[in-house]
Amino acid sequence: MVVLAPLVLSCSSDDDGDEGNGSQTLELVGTWVLVQMNVSAAVDANFDGTTSSNLLDEADCLEDTIVLASTFEWTSTEAFPNSISPITGDLYNIPCLPTQNRDGDWGVTDNNLFLIGVVNRTFLISGNQIIETIGQDLPGISTLVYEKQQ
């Protein structure tokens, strides 16, 4: 990622080469809210008798909001579990953690959004969604899906 950072950050709105990329960049500016935190198999972490593969259905305290500024800076406010612990009988504990603020720079190439900061993240751009594939099996997160707020 360190090698990619200069390449990603070198893309700016004053580039004359790719009008499509500039348009895509403008469409990304704004607030993105986490709508899915998917795991590889449905779980019942809130013990209500209903399972879901979207942890947002199972724990009210999970959240993330990413703000992409036109200055190619980003900020986020997130409350993510640092671990998902198996209990027994296919039940899992998802700890609620305090909210953390993060920030850094962002860039876009093709259909990928890059967040550069303390933690580097890569998202696939798909319409009004950005999707981060983490790819862990339980107990871990498979994908994070964000939708742009109007």
pLDDT at residue 135 greater than cutoff 50: yes
Mind listing the pLDDT tens digit for each residue in 44-70?
888 888 889 999 998 888 999 999 999
All structural domains of the chain with their residue ranges: 27-148
Q: Give, in degrees to the nearest 5, the angle at Cα 33 between 27 and 39.
A: 120
pLDDT at residue 95 greater than cutoff 70: yes
Mind listing the pLDDT tens digit for each residue in 100-133?
999 999 999 999 999 999 889 999 999 999 999 9
pLDDT at residue 74 greater than cutoff 70: yes
Output the CATH code of domain 27-148.
Answer: 2.40.128.300
